Amino acid sequence: MTSSDHITSVSTTRGDIVRVGQLYRDRRLDNVRTLRVDGLSGVGKYAKASCTVIRQNYRGETTHPMRTTTPSVARLVSSAFVLVTDDREQIAGVIAEHVVETITQGEDRAVLIDCSCGAEVAGTLGADDESFIGSTQRVMAAHIADMVAEATGRDGTR
Ligand SMILES: [Zn+2]
């Protein structure tokens, strides 16, 4: 780790500003990755952005590779990428990936939900005045909130 890990924004010679936390998407129709800027290093034309590939849309399949990639800042602001400025679009896309597939009820009010994203979401059914559906919705809401926080690079609000 060097002091450059603490840079939170870099401006290019063209005047574009790249900030930690921003999302960039490939400007193409397929194999579209969404990159979250986690760190910046270097200056001028040597500036690099440490990014995590938080989403990848390839032939209709969306995955969350969560691998790192380190493009130059110049490439990030080039026509190869689009800055994702509308978080709502991003968030709506994340939410759409989490649908209840099966619900398994265990002992002691435990409940295990298979989510369409592949995760097994564990929770507990609420008190008697909370319906079964209400309980599962609450468990899923917490899971989706975590996923949105992860995808947008923000801490959870819970
Ligand atoms: Zn899920």
Q: Specify the pLDDT at position 158.
A: 39
Cα(65) to ligand 1 centroid in Å equals 15
147: left (phi over 0), alpha (psi -120 to 50) or beta: alpha
Cα(71) to ligand 1 centroid in Å equals 29
Task: Give the integer Cα–Cα distance in Å for 76 and 57.
Answer: 18
Cα(118) to ligand 1 centroid in Å equals 6
- For the chain, list residues with pLDDT below 70: 1-5, 86, 152-158
Q: Specify the pLDDT at position 6.
A: 73
Cα(15) to ligand 1 centroid in Å equals 39
Task: Give the integer Cα–Cα distance in Å for 42 and 132.
Answer: 53
The pTM (predicted TM-score) of the whole model is 0.56
Q: Specify the pLDDT at position 149.
A: 82
For residue 125, CA distances in Å to 95, 98, 119, 136, 141 come to 22, 19, 18, 7, 14
Cα(120) to ligand 1 centroid in Å equals 8
Cα(49) to ligand 1 centroid in Å equals 28
Among 52, 54, 68, 50, CA closest to 2: 50
Cα(89) to ligand 1 centroid in Å equals 18
Encode pLDDT of 84-127 as tens digits.
Answer: 876 777 788 888 889 999 999 988 889 999 999 999 999 998 88
Cα(117) to ligand 1 centroid in Å equals 4
Q: Specify the pLDDT at position 148.
A: 85
Cα(155) to ligand 1 centroid in Å equals 17
Q: Specify the pLDDT at position 150.
A: 77
